[in-house]
Structure 1
């Protein structure tokens, strides 16, 4: 079974250019119904010094990370245990840094690739030359508040789609780029990570055999040991979900998608289905909306929502769903389909817009 937990994966404190402490960030995240945050201060990890205490006190998980902030682009690095130097990264050597993160078991993601760059925002526009997109774990396709209506995010979303069409299996996330804990009136989006069985969402407990012996988050002595073991577990589960592409993004209710393979097994978001060479292959698809996701933390008029099923062949189908009827089953011809995702549309904050989307299900 998979539990979908909401995270914010792009946050700053006053250890870089934020105006909040890690404790203030965690408390604000809890007030917004988020289960965890990733601390991605610019070029520093000093803000993580009291991470374990804050996780224990607030119940909000904190994924360790940092944001490489260079003249040629910003890259988010998650799950690293030691600082990875970014100063030797020229526009043509981003993979040198990526390799350093992956050696630690961490993940890398392109931050806000089409945000306006220098001199307004130094290096915010992505200019690094990526020779192998298979080495990039995710792209932040939604950035900022009310992300679906921002043109730079539309470009990032199109970039992700093109990479999927080229055969890359790369995840897509949202990132608030959170600097201040003050209340806002614009809607926020959350990145929902599919945490698999083995992690207890209520306290982060992980099956003992899944704890890696070499991890600094899983080993401890004396007071606070329990919280450190729990923290390692949920961090590992979140990173694993992101690594698998078991990810969905939404400002409101959560779109969901699954496909019944010809072998009788269900495939979910991020999974791969093996197809035979038979033409006209039709498979059962279940499209649904979870209206309980972060319930009470977003407002939306009672309405008919549209869930579009989009693939490398374009839009394949659309279903209309409501709170009274939140799920639909349909048969879909998947001949020639290499990937499939769901996009949720409706009225949100007085605008007709995309409310959320799933990551892809892949077909071999």
Structure 2
């Protein structure tokens, strides 16, 4: 089944983003221009600048965008003693203050972030904390997950093998199972673009299906990969839904066709995979629903599943990367409702 020809998925709509970066204006070791050039060399379309508690690094953003040929999203890493949040899509010149907020004031911090038009997401929630990284470990209690837009489930390079990220990924799964539609993203936490300082390990990127990263994340139209771009679509009862969308089914038949596609062309110059049979797992609130073998050279598959007890579904790509078997890519969820 050629999904490109069928029109079910249009891979050229997906834009590659790095959503967690720093410059000399906080603890980074490059300028915004150097960061942008490094991002362009990585075939990225967008970066979000998320310096710690400052937006001063965005000065001259438009000139840098023109010179490097990429787009820059206004952001900030809201950095406190009790946790870090990525705020994405801040209005020009806005700043989210953190200094008067204590461990019980997360709701106030979220209220102020949303008043600035920003999305709020947990940054590396299970990274080791003080004294090695003050506030990196998330300690805030989240009273209302509806206020959280996303979780950075993969942080750093070769993120899938890090125990802290595996815990974050499990947290996201738990939140989905509790009925909250929270997106999952990745972030390199990029501090240095000097020659030789990058790409020693696989790097994951966040792909978005919209022109604007903040809008895509808000809608859950997001996929994450260290290699080929993995996308998914579900169809049943005469309707269809893509990643981040809702598939509404009638009360009768709950048979759903799930189509998955691997795009091996996107950013192919900056990642490598050994020739192998890859595995795509369809995972939902009931666990692993189905496993699909993708022999070398295969790029698309379609399977029929029973969605009678499902509330959400994602796709995961597993295989050999950098000498070990690991998760290489995953999609955000498609959600299911009954009329």
TM-score category of the 2 structures, normalised to the smaller one = over 0.9
Structure 1 counterpart of 2:209 = 194
Q: What aligned pairs does 1:155-170 form with structure 2 within 5 A after superposition?
A: 155-170=167-182
CA distance, structure 2, for counterparts of residue 20 and residue 283 of structure 1? 48
Asked if the contact 2:239–2:248 (Cα under 8 Å) also holds between the matched residues in 1, the reply is no
CA distance, structure 2, for counterparts of residue 52 and residue 88 of structure 1? 32
1:259 and 2:234 aligned: yes
2:33 partner SS? helix
1:166–1:21: structure 2 CA closer, same or farther, 3 Å change rule? Answer: same
Asked if the contact 1:12–1:177 (Cα under 8 Å) also holds between the matched residues in 2, the reply is yes
CA distance, structure 1, for counterparts of residue 90 and residue 267 of structure 2? 28
Structure 2 counterpart of 1:244 = 219
1:91 and 2:66 aligned: no
CA drift at 1:329? 1.1
1:153 and 2:181 aligned: no
Structure 1 counterpart of 2:6 = none
Unaligned runs of 5+ in 2: 1-9
Structure 1 counterpart of 2:259 = 286
2:268 partner SS? coil
Q: What aligned pairs does 1:174-193 form with structure 2 within 5 A after superposition?
A: 174-182=186-194, 183=196, 184=198, 185-193=200-208
1:60 and 2:70 aligned: yes
1:124 and 2:139 aligned: no
Asked if the contact 2:239–2:247 (Cα under 8 Å) also holds between the matched residues in 1, the reply is no
In the superposition, the TM-score normalised over structure 2's length comes to: 0.93
CA drift at 1:287? 1.4
Asked if the contact 2:48–2:73 (Cα under 8 Å) also holds between the matched residues in 1, the reply is yes
CA distance, structure 1, for counterparts of residue 18 and residue 240 of structure 2? 28
1:313 and 2:286 aligned: yes
CA drift at 1:105? 2.1
CA distance, structure 2, for counterparts of residue 42 and residue 322 of structure 1? 44
CA drift at 1:47? 0.2
Count of residues in Structure 1 that have an aligned counterpart in Structure 2: 322
Structure 2 counterpart of 1:299 = 272
Q: What aligned pairs does 1:31-46 form with structure 2 within 5 A after superposition?
A: 31-46=41-56
1:296 partner SS? helix
1:105 and 2:117 aligned: yes
Asked if the contact 1:194–1:241 (Cα under 8 Å) also holds between the matched residues in 2, the reply is yes
CA distance, structure 1, for counterparts of residue 240 and residue 246 of structure 2? 10
In the superposition, the TM-score normalised over structure 1's length comes to: 0.86
